[in-house]
Amino acid sequence: MYRIGIDIGSTAAKAAVLDENNQLVYTVVMPTGFNGVEAAHRLADDLDAHGYDTNELPTVATGYGRVSVPYADKTITEITCHGMGADYLFGEDGLVIDVGGQDTKAILLADGKVKKFVMNDKCAAGTGKFLEVIADRMGVTQEELADLASQGEHTPISSMCTVFAESEVISLVGRGEPRENIANGVIESVVGRVASLTSSMASDQVFLTGGLCENDYVVGRLAHHLNRPVKTAPNARFAGAIGAALNAGN
């Protein structure tokens, strides 16, 4: 029997389907948009159309919008789900870093289970939201921002607060600083913040999940700041949804 995991994040809504051998047979991602319930229904329509009946199959919801999934049998926090999903994807213990749209999490795995975790406080510093705001301000996509950054020289962005950092970027633009350099400073700011969040969690292995894991430049800079290799996996942005599916029907 198939099992479904739904992960309603602040930016992206994800679904993952596992078969009876725990093989990942289907994934889908779409923007969450304004309404989590509506995003959950869009995911259900897609899953139903692909032959995975959300009304029949065991379903667990996670993520910030986990309470907005009417067809879920239960909800589990994204910390637990990301931990289990990372264990599924990477198959070994380590430190899981998830840079999400609204928050950044660091989860230490021991024997495949969450041993300790930290999250950023109610502030956008070091989150995907920070990159989104600044990329918007510079009129580029987040991918383009990373491309620019790779060609630039480091320009420190000292503001931790996203709103103040945006003002700081505006003054750098006004000063004529090349956009490559600004982009570089922005990425360094996020990655540095993520590294300091995880400073209390020692681990040789580091795995990056969430939307940013598909960005090679960011992965490389994170490895530099942590002074350790950072692994990622093709389906790492589905870690939360996979973790939810692993819990379905239990």
Partner 1 sequence: MAEVIDRHELWASLDMDLETHDVLCSVLPTAFGDTFLSQENRPEGMAFWDMVVADVHGIRPQELVDEQAKGRKVFGTFCTYVPDEVAIACNGIVTGLCGGSQFWVPEGEKYLPADMCPLIKASLGARLGKTCPFFRIADQIVGETTCDGKKKMYEIMAKDVPMHIMELPHQKRDKDVKYFADEIALFGKNVEEVTGVTLTEENLHAAIELINGRRKALARVYETRKNTDVIPISGTDALLMMQIAFFDDPARCTEMANKLADELEQRIADGVSVFPAGTKRILITGTPMAIPNWKLHHIVETSGAAIVCEENCTGTKFFTNLVDEGPTDFAGMYQALAERYMKINCTCFTPNEARIDEVIQLAKDYHVDGVINTNLKFCTTFKTEAPALEKALEDAGIPVLDIETDYTDNDAEQLRTRIGAFVEMLS
Select from 17-25, 115-123, 160-168, 218-226 the region that touches partner 1 (CB under 8 A): 115-123
Least separation, in Å, of the C-beta of 173 and partner 1? 29
Q: What whole-number distance in Å separates Cα of residue 47 and Cα of residue 60?
A: 14
Give ∠ CA 235-238-239 in degrees, rounded to 5: 95
Count the site residues for partner 1 by CB under 8 A: 17
Among 50, 113, 154, 224, binds partner 1 (CB under 8 A): 113
Residues 139-178 interacting with partner 1 (rule: CB under 8 A)? none
Q: What whole-number distance in Å separates Cα of residue 201 and Cα of residue 105?
A: 12
DSSP state letter for 216: H
In the complex with partner 1, the residue whose CB is nearer, 103 or 188, is 103
Least separation, in Å, of the C-beta of 150 and partner 1? 33
Among 46, 53, 74, 118, binds partner 1 (CB under 8 A): 118
**Residue 104 is encoded by which pair of tokens?**
């950044």
Select from 19-27, 114-122, 181-189, 213-221 the region that touches partner 1 (CB under 8 A): 114-122
Instruction: Using the structure block, give the residue that is written with the tokens 């510079």.
Output: 138
| Contact flag: residue 119 with partner 1 (CB under 8 A) | yes
Least separation, in Å, of the C-beta of 81 and partner 1? 9
| Contact flag: residue 103 with partner 1 (CB under 8 A) | yes
| Contact flag: residue 130 with partner 1 (CB under 8 A) | no
Q: What whole-number distance in Å separates Cα of residue 110 and Cα of residue 97?
A: 15
Pairing of strands 206-209, 230-231: parallel
Which positions from 200 to 239 touch partner 1 by CB under 8 A, shown as an x/- string? x---------------------------------------
Residues 66 and 8: beta-carbon distance below 8 Å: yes
In the complex with partner 1, the residue whose CB is nearer, 10 or 150, is 10
Q: What whole-number distance in Å separates Cα of residue 108 and Cα of residue 198?
A: 10
Residues 208 and 231: beta-carbon distance below 8 Å: yes
Centroid of chain to Cα 181? 25
Select from 22-30, 92-100, 108-116, 161-169 the region that touches partner 1 (CB under 8 A): 108-116
**Residue 151 is encoded by which pair of tokens?**
């060609």
Among 19, 38, 112, 116, binds partner 1 (CB under 8 A): 116
Q: Where are the alpha helices (DSSP H) in 91-156?
A: 128-138, 142-151
Residues 53-82 interacting with partner 1 (rule: CB under 8 A)? 64, 76-80
Q: What whole-number distance in Å separates Cα of residue 105 and Cα of residue 206?
A: 13
Catalog residues that contact partner 1 under the rule CB under 8 A. Answer: 64, 76-80, 103, 113-119, 121-122, 200
